[in-house]
Amino acid sequence: MRTGIAAASVEHGDDADVVVLADGARLAADIIVLSVGVRPDTAPFEAAGITCERGAIVVDAHGRTSAPGVWAAGDATVSVDAVTGIRRPVALAGPANRAGRLIADDILRPDDARSSSAPGRHGDRAGRKTHRRPHRREPRSA
């Protein structure tokens, strides 16, 4: 196993495949497992003076960046992990999709836009934690 280096190509053979790495090393393999991660390129945003943290763009509860009139959403932003409560990049489609809708609310209805810390979602509102509680049904009697 090799980490931290790109695979340049895969050569298919009769007995085994060969992975050619970016440094020219050749690895024979019966099975090839490729793991791809997400790492946004925030250099242009940082160069523009937009605040970034941990390799991602910092946004508020409405998706606003530190630059006036600039919003960001998705894998390139720092979010609050719903499980741990830790601020970090969260590369998941659900939060990115929700953030896009919240940004549209903020752009179109800034006075009454929903935020990512709205009641019913994990977050901090007026200094207190809010958590959604699952609805529990009473068991049916036979």
Residue 125 phi, psi (nearest 5): -130, 120
Nearest CA among 54, 1, 45, 53 for reference residue 27: 1
Better pLDDT: 114 or 122: 114
Q: Please give the pLDDT value at position 61.
A: 82
Q: Which two tokens stand for residue 42?
A: 């925030």
Q: What does the H/E/C string look like for the chain?
A: CCCCCCEEEEECCCCCEEEEECCCCEEEECCCCCCCCCCCCCHHHHHCCCCEECCEECCCCCCECCCCCCECCCCCEEEECCCCCCEEECCCHHHHHHHHHHHHHHHHCCCCCCCCCCCCCCEEECCEEECCCCCCCCCCCC
**pLDDT interval class at 52 (50, 70, 90):** very high
Summarize pLDDT for 62-92 with one digit per residue, the tens: 889 999 989 998 888 987 666 787 887 877 7
